[in-house]
Structure 1
Amino acid sequence: MKNYTLGKKPHYKILDGLRGVAAIIVVFFHLAEPLATGHLDNIVNHGYLAVDFFFLLSGFVLGYAYDDRWTTLTFGGFLRRRVERLQPLVILGMTLGALTFYFTDSTIWPHIHTVPVWKLLVVMLIGYTLLPLPLSMDIRGWEEMHPLNSVGWSLFFEYVANILYALGLRKLSNKALACFVAVAGAALVHLAVTSPNGDVAGGWTLNVEHMRIGLTRVLFPFFAGLLLSRVARFIPITNAFFWCSLLVAAILFMPRIGGAEHLWLNGLYESFCIIILFPLVIYMGASGVVHNQLENKICKFLGDLSYPLYMTHYVLVYFYVAWVSNHKGITLQQAWPYALLTFLGAVVLAYASLKLYDEPIRNWLRRKWRPREYPLSAASSAQPTH
Structure 2
Amino acid sequence: IGYTILPVPLSLDIRGWQEMHPLNSVGWSLFFEYIANILYAVWIRKFSKTALSILVGVAAVALVHLAITNGDVSGGWTLNVEQVRVGLTRTMYPFFAGLLLSRITKPTRIKNAFLWCSLLVAIVLYMPRIGGAGHFWMNGIYESVCIIIVFPLIVYLGASGIMQTQTENRICKFLGDISYPLYLVHYPLVYFYVAWISNNKGITIVQVWPYALLVLIAAIVLAYAALKWYDEPVRKWLRKKLG
Specify if TM > 0.5: yes
1:286 aligns with 2:159: yes
Indicate the residue corresponding to 1:356 in structure 2.
Answer: 229
Indicate the residue corresponding to 1:302 in structure 2.
Answer: 175
Amino acid at match of 1:293: Q
Indicate the residue corresponding to 1:167 in structure 2.
Answer: 42
**Aligned equivalents of 1:323, 1:283: Cα separation in 2:** 39
Go from structure 1 to structure 2 and tell me whether the alpha carbon gap of 1:331 and 1:259 turns closer, same or farther (over 3 Å shift).
farther
1:232 aligns with 2:99: no
1:135 aligns with 2:10: yes
Indicate the residue corresponding to 1:377 in structure 2.
Answer: none
**Aligned pairs for 1:68-87 within 5 A:** none
Q: 1:322 aligns with which of 165, 182, 195?
A: 195
2:239 aligned counterpart, secondary structure: helix
Indicate the residue corresponding to 2:213 in structure 1.
Answer: 340
**Aligned equivalents of 1:357, 1:284: Cα separation in 2:** 31
1:139 aligned counterpart, secondary structure: coil
Deviations 1:267-296 (A, max 9, x none): 111100110011111222222322221210
Q: 1:220 aligns with which of 69, 81, 93?
A: 93
Deviations 1:320-339 (A, max 9, x none): 11112223455655533322
**Aligned equivalents of 1:331, 1:243: Cα separation in 2:** 34
**Aligned equivalents of 1:236, 1:339: Cα separation in 2:** 37
Go from structure 1 to structure 2 and tell me whether the alpha carbon gap of 1:234 and 1:309 turns closer, same or farther (over 3 Å shift).
closer
**Aligned equivalents of 2:11, 2:67: Cα separation in 1:** 29
Displacement, 1:357?
3.3
Amino acid at match of 1:344: I
Indicate the residue corresponding to 2:60 in structure 1.
Answer: 185
Displacement, 1:241?
2.5
**Aligned equivalents of 2:229, 2:109: Cα separation in 1:** 37
Unaligned 5+ runs, structure 1: 1-122, 373-386
- Cα RMSD (Å): 2.0
**Aligned equivalents of 1:149, 1:282: Cα separation in 2:** 27
Displacement, 1:354?
2.2
TM-score (norm 2): 0.90
**Aligned equivalents of 1:333, 1:266: Cα separation in 2:** 34
**Aligned equivalents of 2:237, 2:99: Cα separation in 1:** 29
Go from structure 1 to structure 2 and tell me whether the alpha carbon gap of 1:361 and 1:167 turns closer, same or farther (over 3 Å shift).
closer
**Aligned equivalents of 2:187, 2:11: Cα separation in 1:** 22
Amino acid at match of 2:6: L
**Aligned equivalents of 1:319, 1:233: Cα separation in 2:** 43
Calculate percent identity across the aligned residue pairs.
68
**Aligned equivalents of 1:170, 1:356: Cα separation in 2:** 31
**Aligned equivalents of 2:100, 2:232: Cα separation in 1:** 30
Indicate the residue corresponding to 1:247 in structure 2.
Answer: 120
Unaligned 5+ runs, structure 2: none
Go from structure 1 to structure 2 and tell me whether the alpha carbon gap of 1:210 and 1:174 turns closer, same or farther (over 3 Å shift).
same
1:148 aligns with 2:23: yes
Indicate the residue corresponding to 2:82 in structure 1.
Answer: 209
**Aligned equivalents of 2:20, 2:89: Cα separation in 1:** 17
TM-score (norm 1): 0.59
Amino acid at match of 1:132: P
Indicate the residue corresponding to 2:186 in structure 1.
Answer: 313
Deviations 1:41-61 (A, max 9, x none): xxxxxxxxxxxxxxxxxxxxx
**Aligned equivalents of 2:173, 2:114: Cα separation in 1:** 12
Which structure's residues are more often helix, by fraction?
2
Indicate the residue corresponding to 1:63 in structure 2.
Answer: none
Go from structure 1 to structure 2 and tell me whether the alpha carbon gap of 1:334 and 1:293 turns closer, same or farther (over 3 Å shift).
same
Larger RCO: 1 or 2 (CA < 8 Å, sep 6+): 1
1:158 aligned counterpart, secondary structure: helix
Go from structure 1 to structure 2 and tell me whether the alpha carbon gap of 1:329 and 1:190 turns closer, same or farther (over 3 Å shift).
farther
Deviations 1:84-129 (A, max 9, x none): xxxxxxxxxxxxxxxxxxxxxxxxxxxxxxxxxxxxxxx43xx42x
Indicate the residue corresponding to 1:111 in structure 2.
Answer: none
**Aligned equivalents of 2:161, 2:100: Cα separation in 1:** 19
